[in-house]
Amino acid sequence: MIAKQIKKIQPSGIREFFDLVLGMPEVISLGVGEPDFITPWRIREKAITALEEGYTSYTSNQGLLVLRQDISDHYKKKYALTYNPKNEILITVGVSEGLDLALRAVVNPGDKVIVVSPHFVAFPALAQMAHAKVLYLLTKEEEGFKINPKALKELVKQNPKAIILNYPSNPTGITYTKKELKEIWKVLSKKDIVVISDETYDELTYKDVHTSFPSLDKKAKARTILLNGFSKGYAMTGFRVGFVCGNKEIIEAMTKIHSYSMMCGPIISQIASSEALRAQKEVKQMRLAYQRRRDFIVKEFNRLGLKTIKPQGAFYCFVSLKKYKIDSLEFAKKLLFQEKVAVVPGTAFGKEYSSYIRISYATSLDDLKNAIIAIERFLNKL
């Protein structure tokens, strides 16, 4: 019954592992990539009011114009980027849908798409569903898990149709400076490659300011499909709102697919998202809380000999197990069964990363402290 293309795709390593966690009581989960904060009250209140006022219909396929206008204003203010809300912005059902649409809109069967590893689980799966051939660009711990421009130059010789960038990164938490992005763009600009830039975690950048890829120059803007949304920075995963900014032609193509497959994003969530863009004070408070947790967890992991690069964004650490010479799945399973702490094996983000685990610090400081005590006990028995 099932199409060959779908049979080929592996189920998400995260899901597989968390099926084990389900039903186990009292587990401290450092697994899920989801804020532990409840959506700020002013955003929820807006959604409640919208419902009370009877906003229960479809919206236009592209999404509410007022939300597109707010996103356009936000990008102008924050990144000096201009997108026309009428035809250069599309509201999607999370960044997940934006990714799917972007790939389906540009990939012809057999086209190559570069995925930078370790990678968010959906990137290769969605590329394959769009009938692309995935080219993996492996990054290394010694290079801070960042793209090596020379390695990228080699890979683009295979004439890929697109590359998916993601910074701050899930699963490593690394991000790029403007200078580093310019180096990457220098390589990409020589070829006719579409840049799909997933900047879902831009609001969770701790030290330096985030540089949005299309802001590098005019040509970069013309070639980039910029993806972002409200799930992470605004703690709105369940609202399911994302957006795409790009040139008129690409937005038109993506809207065509979206109008047949999804029709539109949920209206109440769209109304709440406009309010979210005004909740920058609340976003900052959450960011500062994540930063405190990051500082704690990185210091503690390094103290335990689990080498961890200090992440500059998102809410993940990619922790090295090399000192303990143990496979990531075995480590994660033993830790779960012996100490009831859930982490994600590195292999979920690329088969080469079997000496790493991903931990999410989107959980309370108390839980993080208890997890560290349990992990220390576990390591002493290894």
Ligand X SMILES: Cc1ncc(COP(=O)(O)O)c(C=O)c1O
The minimum distance between CB 275 and ligand X, in angstroms, equals 17
According to the binding rule CB under 6 A, does residue 350 interact with ligand X? no
Smallest CA-to-CA distance from 14 within 35, 36, 29 is with 29
The rounded distance, in Å, linking the Cα atoms of 36 and 19 is 20
Closer to ligand X at the Cβ: 120 or 356? 120
- List 47, 50, 67, 95, residue binding ligand X (CB under 6 A): 95
- List 75, 83, 120, 318, residue binding ligand X (CB under 6 A): 120
Give the interface size with ligand X as a residue count (CB under 6 A): 13
Question: What order of strands is seen across the sheet that includes strand 224-229?
Answer: 89-92, 242-245, 224-229, 194-198, 162-166, 112-117, 133-138
* Binding-residue pattern over the window 203 to 232 for ligand X, x denoting contact by CB under 6 A: --------------------------x-x-
- List 173, 242, 246, 311, residue binding ligand X (CB under 6 A): 242
Q: Which of residues 245-284 bind ligand X (CB under 6 A)?
A: none
The rounded distance, in Å, linking the Cα atoms of 155 and 136 is 9
Closer to ligand X at the Cβ: 127 or 372? 127
Q: Which of residues 130-189 bind ligand X (CB under 6 A)?
A: 166, 170
Closer to ligand X at the Cβ: 111 or 202? 202
Q: Which of residues 27-86 bind ligand X (CB under 6 A)?
A: 33
How many CB atoms are closer than 10 A to CB 36? 18
The minimum distance between CB 102 and ligand X, in angstroms, equals 11
Closer to ligand X at the Cβ: 189 or 237? 237
- List 59, 96, 255, 363, residue binding ligand X (CB under 6 A): 96
The rounded distance, in Å, linking the Cα atoms of 378 and 304 is 11
The minimum distance between CB 25 and ligand X, in angstroms, equals 25
- List 88, 100, 198, 339, residue binding ligand X (CB under 6 A): 198
Taken as a whole, the chain contains a residue count of: 382
According to the binding rule CB under 6 A, does residue 200 interact with ligand X? yes
The rounded distance, in Å, linking the Cα atoms of 147 and 151 is 8
- Residue 14's alpha-carbon distances to 17, 121, 127, 212, in angstroms, are 5, 8, 18, 28
Closest residue to ligand X, Cβ-based?
94
DSSP state for residue 355 in the 8-state scheme: T
Enumerate the β-bridge partners of residue 163: 114, 195
How many CB atoms are closer than 10 A to CB 215? 18
Closer to ligand X at the Cβ: 120 or 331? 120
Smallest CA-to-CA distance from 84 within 69, 96, 67, 66 is with 69
The rounded distance, in Å, linking the Cα atoms of 340 and 365 is 17
Closer to ligand X at the Cβ: 96 or 308? 96
According to the binding rule CB under 6 A, does residue 237 interact with ligand X? yes
CB 175 within 8 A of CB 204: no
Which residue do the tokens 């599309």 mark?
Answer: 90
Q: Which stretch binds ligand X (CB under 6 A): 11-19, 93-101, 300-308, 370-378?
A: 93-101
The rounded distance, in Å, linking the Cα atoms of 254 and 225 is 10
Provide the binding-site residues for ligand X, judged by CB under 6 A. 33, 94-96, 120, 166, 170, 198, 200, 229, 231, 237, 242
